[in-house]
Structure 1
């Protein structure tokens, strides 16, 4: 089978099936695009019959998204989804728990993990650039039940993350308006982000490009000014000499022991979650074969520079016992340096970063809801789009997660924030595990179907070591959460949630078998 056959079999939602393609031919039963399973569409001859579930010509719903993103949008959207509260707020918690050197090591381990995952995702996204990619891959290469679970998990990742981003925005506003309730500012952020996402995807992408550019420039300035303070060129409050890097080892290399380094990997995973947005946007990118690989490589080295560089500056200038989530470490650094109004300026930049991450997060969550509706996993009207190609109903469902931020009106915001970080981080790791495993299965089926690796337009370097490394490291970081007493509850809750998702899938399948809908019956097209 040629590459074009694979692209036909996994046709982008923006290019609806026509009457001339009544069957999407796959390479022999179960090789590349997956097994013929009971959910659908599999024939004994290895073909996939078009059903009403996939047929846009019969339903009145307008389910077309638009390919309006370019490579520069893809890169900045990925950065925008990552550089948010994970760096600006939860990095302080990590420094407090693991110590300076431990934090740098934890972020280094996290960078390796996310790099390996992105390399596996690149191969899948270039071969099959579809919106809602993760659960589509899981459905094809693992099973329909797992596809359903991954869809819900990724939706949870970003809707819960939205809650934490909005909570963080409320915390940041407390600097300027200390006597106002946090929930009021969270609500204002919800309205703003919803409005931005309700416009066309082109407008969203362009706005996010400049939105993310602001915080990237701010991080560069933070690292530059911080280095000047570290070497004594700029004065630092509390120091009569250049601080240099004494704070990194003042209380030992690992002041709380070595185990917190691994236990706080969850927080680091939350910081790096969002890089996989490249896979979600592939279905709305004009040239995914070129844009996706470029975005993967340029995004990763920028993340390593921005995250590791920022952590080194923070750790060198802030005593590790003073770090936490009550105030951004970025604000603490500028306040200590004594630059007039610098703390307020940085507080604004951090707030901008939070809004940018929320903007990307709501986009990702919306597209996952759209994809589930498009695939028939949830009511189909979630896949309906307006004339601008925006799935408004899916957008409303995704924004529901942002209402979690309102919990801060009844519970201490720092407590709410840490719980949300734990839940969102775990769901992200579950998705990463699935991505790595899907790529392993995809490559095996590709070879088994008689194709060569050279036919792939993007190949995961170092396969299979890269893929298995990503799978094992992600699984280990998931299980190591058990050793963090403060976040152990999230692990139990996540495991229960996974079981509930599988149960929901099997109940749904049982119900549909007993009460078949007309739209699930095969359609014979001329």
Structure 2
């Protein structure tokens, strides 16, 4: 058997996968977007995150059950192809691939902006190019190198959140006086429990969902994980606990240290809090954390798009081959070149153009997540008939009711995006993309 045919190397350990799963749930949506979420919901944002987190957990349990049923599939989209048909797999696969490509392009552009904070007199494109090359090398050297990089990227994000939670506890327990006043637990609810009389509460659900975007990334690592039957369930089960600790804990600390009415959508609440208690380098610290989050997103994007293109291209294509290190290097090369175009394109187009495309990708992810729940429903029906192998000991609780409830929840968020002025155009754009790809799938007779 040749190197190209022997399959992926299983070199990702539980330590890697656990942090990958956690890192996928923590991004700039929390560090930069929490201020806007708090402004729209007030302390009720905690309930919004709990509800959203439970549905995300249901989706991940469904994904985990699928992965364990056949851990040889390189990407979870392959299950959609198997259970929903080749045309559906084709459309959803390319949608997922382009979604991650666009996310990588926007994050690469963001890296230039973050580096400009420290080096305002230098152009941003050299920084973008440097990060692009380094992260590309991390992905083509060895899978373990990717796992180590993602582990430490996630560790930095987790450390920042833990620092916020510990700071809040210490100040509240000691009732310490800061520039923002006396710190008490009652600050969380003493200014009201819901913002704007609940008028903007639904918009907060949309923003909370976007904070979890990428949580499914662990579903791309199964074929390269040591002992996936043990590692994947542990990683998935830990997600709900970590959501409660990191999201609920961090947001609670933020609203205890400073009244939630003081936060503004345009500035990171982490910066506001640390600056308020006298940490002069707060803005620089958070800038470093969001820089790490952006690098983590690009790192994950290279890994995902490489595996996706490998799966979509098929074994007869040069992009469907593995190198001697059992890595789809040709597929990663093409994905990297496309992402690298952002360095050039960003010179001609404003950053807003990338934000526009990025939110379009986010709308497409909603459809992919709904398709994942439908895929799980079809799998369960076939498993019941005995046509595919049943999974023992790790199942989606309360299925199929939990499937339908999760689909309804995701559909409601999609509708909110469709009727919101800020996201209406991008959501329609995502629907147009799916329609075009569906027509193409029929023309090509996939």
TM-score by length of 1: 0.76
Give 1:94's aligned residue: 37
Contact 1:214–1:349 at 8 Å: present in 2 too? yes
Q: Post-superposition shift, 1:264?
A: 4.2
User: Using the alignment, how far apart are the partners of 1:457 and 1:244 within structure 2?
Assistant: 41
In structure 1, runs of 5+ residues without a counterpart are 1-15, 17-56, 511-526
Give 1:496's aligned residue: 432
User: Using the alignment, how far apart are the partners of 1:134 and 1:151 within structure 2?
Assistant: 9
Distance 1:364 1:61, change over 3 A: same
1:355 equivalent in alignment to 2:292: no
Name the larger-Rg structure.
1
| Of 72, 79, 93, the match for 2:15 | 72
Distance 1:411 1:450, change over 3 A: closer
What pairs up with 1:82-481 in 2 under 5 angstroms? 82-96=25-39, 98-229=40-171, 233-237=175-179, 239-242=180-183, 244=185, 246=187, 250=191, 253-255=194-196, 258=198, 260-316=200-256, 317=258, 322-325=263-266, 327-374=267-314, 380-399=317-336, 400-401=338-339, 403-404=341-342, 409=347, 413=351, 415-416=352-353, 418-449=355-386, 456-481=392-417
TM-score by length of 2: 0.89
Give 1:81's aligned residue: 24
What pairs up with 1:10-29 in 2 under 5 angstroms? none
What pairs up with 1:34-45 in 2 under 5 angstroms? none
Partner SS for 1:276: helix
Distance 1:419 1:93, change over 3 A: farther
Distance 1:195 1:235, change over 3 A: farther
Contact 2:139–2:302 at 8 Å: present in 1 too? yes
Deviations 1:28-61 (A, max 9, x none): xxxxxxxxxxxxxxxxxxxxxxxxxxxxx8xx95
Partner SS for 1:133: coil
Contact 1:155–1:398 at 8 Å: present in 2 too? no
Partner SS for 1:174: helix
User: Using the alignment, how far apart are the partners of 2:443 and 2:53 within structure 1?
Assistant: 39
Contact 2:43–2:188 at 8 Å: present in 1 too? no
Deviations 1:65-106 (A, max 9, x none): 21111222111112223322222223333334x232353333
Distance 1:220 1:367, change over 3 A: same
Distance 1:151 1:322, change over 3 A: same
C-alpha RMSD over aligned residues? 2.9
Higher mean C-alpha displacement, 305-314 vs 426-435: 305-314
Larger proportion of helix: 2
Q: Which structure has more RCO (C-alpha within 8 Å, separation ≥ 6)?
A: 2
Deviations 1:243-286 (A, max 9, x none): 6554766477222x535332343332221122212221111112
Instruction: Report how many residues are paired.
Output: 444
Deviations 1:6-37 (A, max 9, x none): xxxxxxxxxx8xxxxxxxxxxxxxxxxxxxxx
User: Using the alignment, how far apart are the partners of 1:181 and 1:426 within structure 2?
Assistant: 32
User: Using the alignment, how far apart are the partners of 1:240 and 1:208 within structure 2?
Assistant: 38
Partner SS for 1:385: coil
